[in-house]
Amino acid sequence: MRTIVCMKVVPKTEDVRFDQQTRTLDRSGAENEINQPDKSALEMALQLKEGHGGDVVLLSMGPSFFEPYLRLGIAMGADNAILLSDRAFAGADTYPTSYTIATAIRKIGNFDLVLCGEESSDASTGQVPPGIAEWLDIPQVTYLSQLNIEGSMARAKRTVKGGYEIVEAPLPLLASVELGCNSPRFPDFRRKRWAEKEFKITVWTAADMGVNPDKIGSKGSHTTVDELVELPRPSRRMQRITGSPEEEAVLIVQKIKEAFGS
Ligand SMILES: Cc1cc2nc3c(=O)[nH]c(=O)nc-3n(C[C@H](O)[C@H](O)[C@H](O)COP(=O)(O)OP(=O)(O)OC[C@H]3O[C@@H](n4cnc5c(N)ncnc54)[C@H](O)[C@@H]3O)c2cc1C
């Protein structure tokens, strides 16, 4: 069984700043990390591999600084990593992003599952996974928290408002995986050294993939960010309460009553 895990590298949420000039994310000075739901997608893929065999391929579209994060995924247990990296991919909205990733998935070929995170923590549209499924013309299950494979069928638990539903779909299938549905494993120490020093990441450019140049990057994008407004962070009122535990309790109750006007 071949599972392709789409992995995005994102700036840590607290480091996210906006560049008002270009209306894009300003990553300079930001610490990056693997998008958290994508780690859950990788954990799910590795557990499925333990049960069914096969291989796990990491796929990412982004600049070369994504490479160490792909190596981390390899150290966790993925078998292969492909980075789609080309200046022509820059400035992509979700339409060219999903088109470019879907084209790479076709090129990898022979896949049974494509796992994505439910959404990214930087732009958070959640549109890329359904977009990839549409380009590939395969079934999709979003906000999935559990996945069992029986023969050529997948049985999935997906979260809906107020509960969950169990759905079935034939393979090949694309699923977007819910944040926190599992505990992603730590990288294997010995594998980490090998992943960092010896593992070779495959890099594909636009020319390697034969993508339509009009459908990629900013040229292929259908949306532009027109205005970007950064909300001021809420200021916090802090007050230190001192006294015996009984006195502190009385004061806290008094403060709560004052706050809620009762
Ligand atoms: C401030 C800002 C606002 C934006 N607003 C919009 C907008 O309104 N509409 C729009 O179309 N675009 C918008 N974009 C662009 C958007 O960030 C890109 O299209 C981005 O490449 C993918 O969208 P996303 O991060 O929302 O992905 P999501 O759809 O939220 O990501 C879901 C999953 O898809 C996979 N995935 C996503 N991107 C990649 C990748 N590069 N490599 C591998 N896997 C990936 C991951 O598994 C991820 O967990 C905006 C960007 C910024 C900075």
Query: Range of 142's domain?
Result: 2-215
Look at residue 134 in the predicted model and tell me its pLDDT.
98
Which of 125, 134, 209 for a ligand 1 pocket mutation test, highest count of atoms within 8 Å of Cβ? 125
Establish if 258 belongs to a structural domain. Answer: no
CA of 124 to the centre of ligand 1 (A): 6
Look at residue 237 in the predicted model and tell me its pLDDT.
77
Write the CA distances from 14 to 10, 29, 123, 245, integer angstroms: 11, 11, 14, 35
Ligand 1: atom nearest CA of 37 is 49
Look at residue 133 in the predicted model and tell me its pLDDT.
98
Establish if 232 belongs to a structural domain. Answer: no
Ligand 1: atom nearest CA of 122 is 25
Look at residue 29 in the predicted model and tell me its pLDDT.
82
Cα separation, 177 vs 69, in Å, equals: 19
Question: Ligand 1 within 6 A of 62 CB?
Answer: yes
Cα separation, 25 vs 13, in Å, equals: 11
Establish if 230 belongs to a structural domain. Answer: no
Q: Extract the tokens encoding 135.
A: 């380009």
What is the β-pairing status of strands 24-26 and 17-19?
antiparallel
**By alpha-carbon position, which residue is closest to atom 14 of ligand 1?**
93
**Location of structure tokens 């990839």:** 132
Ligand 1: atom nearest CA of 93 is 19
Establish if 242 belongs to a structural domain. Answer: no
CA of 247 to the centre of ligand 1 (A): 51
Question: Ligand 1 within 6 A of 36 CB?
Answer: no
Look at residue 4 in the predicted model and tell me its pLDDT.
98
Cα separation, 194 vs 188, in Å, equals: 10
Q: Looking at residue 126, which CATH number applies to its domain?
A: 3.40.50.620
140-150 sheet: strands from edge to edge: 163-170, 153-160, 140-150, 173-177, 113-117, 2-6, 55-61, 80-84, 202-204
Look at residue 75 in the predicted model and tell me its pLDDT.
98
Ligand 1: atom nearest CA of 59 is 43
Look at residue 261 in the predicted model and tell me its pLDDT.
79
Ligand 1: atom nearest CA of 131 is 29
pLDDT in tens, 111-149: 999 999 999 999 899 999 999 999 999 999 999 999 999
CA of 24 to the centre of ligand 1 (A): 12
Look at residue 239 in the predicted model and tell me its pLDDT.
85
CA of 147 to the centre of ligand 1 (A): 24
CA of 126 to the centre of ligand 1 (A): 7
* The CA-based dihedral angle spanning residues 13, 19, 25, 28, taken in that order and rounded to the nearest 10 degrees: -80
**By alpha-carbon position, which residue is closest to atom 13 of ligand 1?**
93
Ligand 1: atom nearest CA of 24 is 53
Structural domains counted in the chain: 1
Establish if 88 belongs to a structural domain. Answer: yes
CA of 150 to the centre of ligand 1 (A): 32
Catalogue the long-range contacts made by 164-168 (C-beta closer than 8 Å, 24 or more residues apart).
167/141
Establish if 171 belongs to a structural domain. Answer: yes
Residues in the chain with pLDDT values less than 50: none
Look at residue 260 in the predicted model and tell me its pLDDT.
85
What's the distance, Cα to Cα, between the start and end of the chain in Å?
A: 62
Question: Ligand 1 within 6 A of 224 CB?
Answer: no
Establish if 256 belongs to a structural domain. Answer: no
Establish if 35 belongs to a structural domain. Answer: yes
Cα separation, 239 vs 17, in Å, equals: 30
DSSP lists the bridge partners of residue 144 as 158, 177
